[in-house]
Amino acid sequence: MKTSISTPSLQQAVVNGDITSLKECFRSRVDTNMFDANGEPLLFTAIVNGDMETLVLLLSHSDVNLASEDGRTALMIAVEMNDMSMVKKLIKSGARVDSKDNSGKTSLLLALETGKFNIAEYLIKHGSDVNEVDHLGQSALFFVANADCYGSSKIVKTLICCGYVLKDCESWMCPDGFTCNKMKESKYRNLIHKLKLTFKTKSMIL
């Protein structure tokens, strides 16, 4: 829950990456777990600005899992910015990988949705649940298919190896977005086919 809006001096220091002023705020025991006028934690500003020095300093005095009014966390912002170094720093600082925004998306689903497969693999390696779905029931595999990016087959294999459970794909095999794009629909069906074959092979081995 939002505590209060940050003071102008604190927010300005974060916006400008003014480390000296920021340290002075800390010495004055200013609470950094505050929000800007848009209802977003100050951590977000440092991430959007690509300012690692300010981010590191804020993390030493802030809650890394503080969420905005729409449920987004600093980790989600770093994923959206495609900033692997910040993703790594936030996770190392205790960011919860499976927090959900108000649409039910985790950082992993956000990464897969936009084809950021390298970040997605890192999130999975650090404990992201590959079987989470958003509030619309859209799964990791759904977002891989929709992303239409290079590396889809590799990330599908990663999902499988990390325990992905095949969903009832008949209910979302051909969403409206695919019906007008035969190439994407074919790719999506091929991914499902590969997944089924993998599960069939695993069951035969067992």
**Predicted confidence (pLDDT) at residue 179 exceeds the cutoff of 70:** no
Residue 206: its pLDDT value, please? 45
The confidence band for 104, taking pLDDT boundaries of 50, 70 and 90, is very high
What tokens does 147 get? Answer: 């992303």
Torsion angles phi and psi, residue 41, rounded to 5: -60, 150
Structure confidence by residue, pLDDT tens digits, 19-42 = 999 999 889 888 888 888 888 999
Residue 153: its pLDDT value, please? 81
Q: Rounded distance, CA 157 to CA 159, Å?
A: 5
**Predicted confidence (pLDDT) at residue 89 exceeds the cutoff of 90:** yes
What tokens does 180 get? Answer: 């007008």
Cα four-point dihedral sign 69, 40, 112, 196: negative
Q: Residue 85 CB: number of other CB atoms within 10 A?
A: 11
The confidence band for 189, taking pLDDT boundaries of 50, 70 and 90, is low
Same fold, 1-96 and 106-206: yes
Domain chopping of the chain, boundaries: 1-96, 106-206
The yes or no reply on domain 1-96 and CATH 1.25.40.20 is yes
**Predicted confidence (pLDDT) at residue 181 exceeds the cutoff of 50:** no
Residue 171 DSSP one-character state: G
Nearest to 59 by CA among 35, 79, 77, 41: 41
197 or 87, greater pLDDT: 87
106-206, CATH topology level? 1.25.40
Farthest CA pair distance, the chain: 65
Percent over 70 (pLDDT), the chain: 77
Claim: this prediction has a pTM higher than 0.85 = no
Residue 20: its pLDDT value, please? 94
| H helix and E strand count, the chain | 12, 0
Query: What three-state secondary structure class fits 25?
Result: helix
Q: Rounded distance, CA 125 to CA 200, Å?
A: 25
Residue 123: its pLDDT value, please? 98
Q: Rounded distance, CA 5 to CA 40, Å?
A: 9
Per the CB < 8 A criterion, the answer to whether 60 and 46 are in contact is no
Q: Rounded distance, CA 110 to CA 76, Å?
A: 7
**Predicted confidence (pLDDT) at residue 105 exceeds the cutoff of 50:** yes
Structure confidence by residue, pLDDT tens digits, 109-132 = 999 999 999 999 999 999 999 999
Stated length of the chain: 206
163 or 76, greater pLDDT: 76
Structure confidence by residue, pLDDT tens digits, 137-173 = 999 988 888 776 777 888 988 998 999 987 664 344 4
